[in-house]
Structure 1
Amino acid sequence: MKGLTDGPAGSCRDGRADAQEPGAAGEAGAEEGAGEGAGGAQATITLSGEGACIAEARRCAAAFFTRGGAARHRPTVPERVVGLVQLVVSELVTNACKYAYGPVVLRLRLAGAVVEVEVRDSAPVFPTAQAPDPHRVGRHGLEIVRAVASVLAVRGERDGKTVIAHIPLGPGPAADTPATRPDTTTV
């Protein structure tokens, strides 16, 4: 699996895509700019699915805003939003690494007034957020994502699932009313 779109894969280092197969020399495969157009910038990164890929996913998320396609479309994304996207990416990729096997596909996309974060993995079981519990150690990832995202949803795939989170770029109704697909379940 190279990613959600066809095309060459490479490693995400400082927001640039280097030509190489996922898992060859680097941890991640990236397809920067795949799907750029009217909707904005997008990057698709294929991660190994092993623990070390979580840090790589965070670096790729930051690079998407600094040197990647997003900087060309919207060069002034607030640092707070970049940090929230990194947090959401970290939590969703951690869950994918913990509960699924094989590669994890991360897709970032600017879509109007939101940053769409999608994490696809091979586990068919949909995640469920637990009730808040200040005494529980760990397992707060979906609670965190739900608290910062305007949308948190899951879409079943033929070979797993995709978890979708929308992070608003700023206040306003456009950030809270993204389009949803009928085959998507809100978490």
Structure 2
Amino acid sequence: MEQLTARYGPEQDGPRDGRGVMAGSAAYAMDSGEISRARAFVRDFLSDARTLRGVDVPTRALEIAQLVVSELATNVCKYAPGPCLLDLEVDGDRLLVTMWDSGAVLPSALQGDPVREGQHGLEIVLALCQSFEVRREPVGKRVRVQVSLLEDAEDDDAPVGLFPW
């Protein structure tokens, strides 16, 4: 993994909650080994958000963010091998995840099928994120999702430690 930048500080739009916006970026040459590095980047970034900015990042939100990035990175490995850029931004109670890759084909979720083996990644991302946007770029595409950093009241009884990374 080659980390491009890790910039922390207020952005021009201003903070949502007085703590400012934190942003970080990393670049990857996408092969299967890079998926775990992308997850680690998310974990380290959100840990820094806790430590440096006092952002409340519940364990479940951290796990969801890692899973979402893992699924997006897996799609890049499968369908658009080559360079990939991952941008993370914490703004108040939300994490914005933007992933650029050089592939021209836009992702689309398959119809739900519990007996289908594989190809559930985008279904998972859509179920876990508050927003999903994909747009073509002059080269490739950019996928942007929003993950809530709030503890969901419905998830109070959910087991902690669902994802072991």
Q: Which bracket does the TM-score occupy, shorter chain normalised?
A: 0.7 to 0.9
Superposition pairs of residues 25-174 of structure 1, within 5 angstroms: 27-33=1-7, 36-37=10-11, 38-39=14-15, 40-66=21-47, 68-69=48-49, 71-170=51-150
C-alpha contact 1:117 1:165 (8 A) present in aligned 2: yes
CA distance in 2, matches of 1:33, 1:84: 23
| Alignment-mate amino acid for residue 55 of structure 1 | S
Moved over 6 A (4+): none
C-alpha contact 2:23 2:89 (8 A) present in aligned 1: yes
| Alignment-mate amino acid for residue 56 of structure 1 | R
Q: Deviations over 1:32-77 (max 9, x none)?
A: 11664334101101011111100000001000011x3564223321
Relative to structure 1, is the Cα distance of residues 121 and 70 closer, same or farther in structure 2, using a 3 angstrom cutoff?
farther
Following TM superposition, by how much is the alpha carbon of 1:120 offset from its aligned partner in structure 2, in angstroms?
0.5
User: Mind listing any 5+ residue stretches in structure 2 that lack a counterpart?
Assistant: 16-20, 153-165
Question: SS in structure 1 opposite 2:32?
Answer: coil
CA distance in 2, matches of 1:80, 1:146: 17
CA distance in 2, matches of 1:138, 1:58: 20
C-alpha contact 1:126 1:161 (8 A) present in aligned 2: yes
Relative to structure 1, is the Cα distance of residues 34 and 97 closer, same or farther in structure 2, using a 3 angstrom cutoff?
farther
User: Mind listing any 5+ residue stretches in structure 1 that lack a counterpart?
Assistant: 1-26, 173-187
Relative to structure 1, is the Cα distance of residues 36 and 92 closer, same or farther in structure 2, using a 3 angstrom cutoff?
farther
| Alignment-mate amino acid for residue 93 of structure 1 | A
CA distance in 2, matches of 1:36, 1:62: 21
Q: Deviations over 1:124-147 (max 9, x none)?
A: 111000111001000000100000
Superposition pairs of residues 10-21 of structure 1, within 5 angstroms: none
Relative to structure 1, is the Cα distance of residues 77 and 155 closer, same or farther in structure 2, using a 3 angstrom cutoff?
same
Between the aligned residues of both structures, percent identity stands at 34
C-alpha contact 1:42 1:70 (8 A) present in aligned 2: no
Question: SS in structure 1 opposite 2:81?
Answer: coil
Structure with larger RCO (C-alpha < 8 A, sep 6+):
2
